[in-house]
Amino acid sequence: MQKQTFIHSSAVIETGASIGSGVHIGPLCHIGPDAVIDDGVKLVGHVTVIGATTLGANTIVYPQAVLGGPPQNQSHKGGRTTLTVGANCIIREFVTMHIGTDNARGATTIGDNCNFLAYSHVAHDCIVGNNVTLTNGATLGGHCEVGDNVGIGGLSAVHQFVRIGQGAFLAGGSMLVGDLIPYAIAMGNRAKLRGLNVVGLRRSGMSKAEIMTLRRAYKTIFDPAQPVSENIEIARAEFADSPGAMKIVDFIAVRGKRHYAVPPLKGAVDDDADDQD
């Protein structure tokens, strides 16, 4: 049976806002004129949705979250930019997400089935994939790109323009200032690699054989005997039949003054994953 739309009498919905069917808008919510609230969204109470913000179907937002605020970027001149949140996301208390800047992408984009725990933050112009979790107090700076199935631990901060590859995990209390390759774990103040995210790979259904291939590729890429630039070409040839290894190689191959892959912790080239299986 289709849920009925509920709007509490104390909620403020400005003219122009689009409200889908089966939406629940609790007490003291404020919905701005450019907001789009898709079917089945639940705003528990005291939620603010401003700017050109779209909330995907069945997303749940908890009290004191502020979604669609202007970017904390002095170069933004006030042009119309957007925030789009996918379907089935959970956005907990005091989460903040900002629209894009009008001199950059102009859009902040978040995928489906994401989980943003209390006090986490997504800055302007970020691209966040599907099934991403930001734990309590985790922060993304502007222009970050986060792949699918990424976990970011509590009180961690990701520097602006940083990329985090698919299936990676950033441990709690870390500061990430360079790109984190797919399927890896990083941790520390100025985080360094600590091996592959083997637990995450297993949970994703990746076979043991493919995981072992990724581990060999990881060791090849970060072999200290040669520069990484040479190692990735060796890995490209040796592991051409492994889609996962090629994803790592292609990720590292993206170069520029704002992009470099964080290396393993000094003296820990081998990944420290569990070898028991």
In a domain, 172, yes or no: no
In a domain, 197, yes or no: no
In a domain, 139, yes or no: yes
Active-site residue numbers? 124-125, 142
In a domain, 255, yes or no: no
Q: 265-275, pLDDT tens digit by residue? A: 986 655 544 44
This prediction's pTM: 0.94
Spatial separation of the C-alpha atoms in residues 230 and 247, rounded to whole Å: 17
DSSP for 32-82 reads -TT-EE-TT-EE-SS-EE-SEEEE-TT-EE-TT-EEEEPPS-TT--S---E
Looking at residue 277, its pLDDT comes to: 38
Domain membership of residue 14 as a residue range: 6-143
In a domain, 185, yes or no: no
In a domain, 258, yes or no: no
Looking at residue 193, its pLDDT comes to: 98
Which regions of the chain are under pLDDT 70? Answer: 1-2, 256-257, 267-277
Looking at residue 153, its pLDDT comes to: 98
Task: Tell me the CATH number at 61.
Answer: 2.160.10.10
Question: Which of 23, 35, 41 is CA-nearest to residue 97?
Answer: 35
Domains in the chain, number: 1
Looking at residue 274, its pLDDT comes to: 45
